[in-house]
C-alpha cells in the first residue's frame, strides 16, 4: 500500500514560548485535493512550512510520500502568499519560473525541456507575453501568477498553495482554477484559502487548523460551523465538540 502524500503524527510546534500547533495528526492521500481553513494565526502557514521541511517539529513525526520532509521536498511545488525580492535585481518572469527547475540544472545551464516547461507554465496562467518582463515591473497580481507558474513548472506530485488567489483578479482566478482542475488528475493538492466558493469547487475534504487540526467534509461547511471556526468566542467549543466526535474526551465536561 502506497504511503500518503502527507502524514502528520502527533506533531507539535512552537515559536519560542508560543505554541502554534498542538498534537496534530492527519494524512492527505495521494491524488486528493484538500483545502485548509482557519482563523489568522491558527497555524495554517506553519503547517505548510513543516511539510516542506522549512521548520522542525518540537514533537511528532512528519512524512512526505513516506520520506522525511527534507527528502520528499523534491516532489513538492510551493506557492507562498508573497515573495520577498530585490526590485533592482535583474530577473524576469521566465527566470523566476525556471527556479522551479533548479534540481534539473546540468553544468550551470537549463535544458531545452526546462525552458519549454517554463513557457508552458506561464501560458497556463496567462502570462506567456510577459516572459521577458522584469519581475519588478509586473503588478502584484501578475507576480503572484508567476509564483503559481513556478510551482506548475516543477511537475511536482504534490502542490502546496498558501492563498494563491489572494492577489489576483477574478479573470485570472478563473484561469487558475481551470488549471487546478486539470492538475488534480495527476497531482495531490493542499490549498490554504478563505474562499468558500473555491473550496466547494476544488476540495475533497477540509482541514480546519486552529492550533489543532480537524477534518471536515466539504458539505459540512454551513454557516454555523464556519462561525465556530472563525469566531473567537466559539473556537474552543468547536475544538471540544470535534475532539469529542473523534473519541478524545480530554476537553469534555461529562457528568
Q: Which domains does the chain have, with CATH numbers?
A: 6-221 (3.40.50.300)
The predicted-structure confidence for 32-41, as pLDDT tens digits, reads as follows: 999 998 888 8
* Cα within 13 Å of Cα(172), Cβ side: 21
The predicted-structure confidence for 3-61, as pLDDT tens digits, reads as follows: 999 999 999 999 999 999 999 999 999 999 999 988 888 899 999 999 999 999 999 99
Residue 147's Cβ-count burial label (10 Å; 0-12, 13-18, 19+) is: buried
Q: Helix, strand, or coil here: 114?
A: helix
Q: What angle do CA 36, 80, 133 make, to 5 degrees?
A: 140
pTM: 0.76
Asked if pLDDT for residue 233 goes beyond 50, the answer is no
Strand partners, 36: 192, 207
Three cell numbers at 222? 454551513
Which of 145, 161, 152 minimizes the C-alpha distance to 52?
161
- Distances, alpha carbon 158 to alpha carbons 64, 179, 204, in Å: 9, 15, 15
Q: Helix, strand, or coil here: 193?
A: coil
Q: How confident is the model at residue 236 (pLDDT cuts 50, 70, 90)?
A: very low
Are the C-beta atoms of residues 133 and 164 closer than 8 Å to each other?
no
Q: Helix, strand, or coil here: 154?
A: coil
Q: Helix, strand, or coil here: 125?
A: coil
The predicted-structure confidence for 186-213, as pLDDT tens digits, reads as follows: 889 999 987 777 787 888 888 989 898 9
Three cell numbers at 156? 511536482
Three cell numbers at 200? 466547494
Three cell numbers at 48? 505548510
Strand partners, 12: 59
Quote the crossing angle between the two packed helices 232-245 and 223-230, to the nearest 10°: 110
> When comparing pLDDT for 103 and 95, which is higher?
95
- DSSP states along 97-108: HHGGGGGG-BTT
Quote the crossing angle between the two packed helices 112-124 and 140-153, to the nearest 10°: 130
pLDDT at 174: 74
Mean pLDDT of 109-126: 90
Strand partners, 210: 212
Asked if pLDDT for residue 220 goes beyond 70, the answer is no
End-to-end, the C-alpha distance of the chain in Å comes to: 43
Q: What phi-psi label fits residue 43: left (phi over 0), alpha (psi between -120 and 50 degrees) or beta?
A: left
Amino acid at each position: 500500500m502506497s504511503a500518503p502524500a502527507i502524514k502528520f503524527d502527533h506533531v507539535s510546534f512552537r515559536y519560542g514560548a508560543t505554541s502554534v500547533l498542538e498534537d496534530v495528526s492527519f494524512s492527505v492521500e495521494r491524488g486528493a485535493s484538500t483545502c485548509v481553513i482557519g482563523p489568522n494565526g491558527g497555524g495554517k502557514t506553519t503547517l505548510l512550512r513543516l511539510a516542506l521541511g522549512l521548520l522542525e517539529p518540537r514533537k511528532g513525526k512528519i512524512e512526505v510520500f513516506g520520506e522525511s520532509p527534507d527528502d520528499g521536498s523534491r516532489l513538492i511545488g510551493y506557492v507562498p502568499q508573497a515573495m520577498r525580492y530585490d526590485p533592482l535585481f535583474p530577473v524576469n518572469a521566465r527566470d523566476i519560473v525556471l527556479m522551479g527547475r533548479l534540481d534539473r540544472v546540468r553544468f550551470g545551464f537549463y535544458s531545452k525541456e526546462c525552458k519549454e516547461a517554463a513557457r508552458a507554465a506561464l501560458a497556463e496562467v496567462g502570462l506567456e507575453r510577459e516572459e521577458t518582463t522584469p519581475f519588478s515591473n509586473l503588478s502584484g497580481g501578475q507576480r503572484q501568477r508567476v509564483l503559481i507558474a513556478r510551482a506548475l513548472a516543477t511537475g511536482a506530485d504534490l502542490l502546496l498553495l498558501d492563498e494563491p488567489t489572494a492577489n489576483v483578479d477574478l479573470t485570472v482566478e478563473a484561469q487558475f482554477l481551470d488549471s487546478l482542475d486539470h492538475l488534480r488528475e495527476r497531482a495531490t493538492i493542499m490549498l490554504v484559502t478563505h474562499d468558500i466558493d473555491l473550496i466547494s469547487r476544488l476540495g475533497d475534504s477540509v482541514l480546519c487548523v486552529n492550533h489543532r487540526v480537524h477534518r471536515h467534509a466539504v458539505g459540512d461547511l454551513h454557516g454555523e460551523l464556519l462561525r465556530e471556526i472563525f469566531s473567537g468566542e466559539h473556537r474552543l467549543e468547536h475544538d471540544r465538540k470535534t475532539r469529542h466526535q473523534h473519541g478524545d474526551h480530554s476537553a469534555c465536561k461529562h457528568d
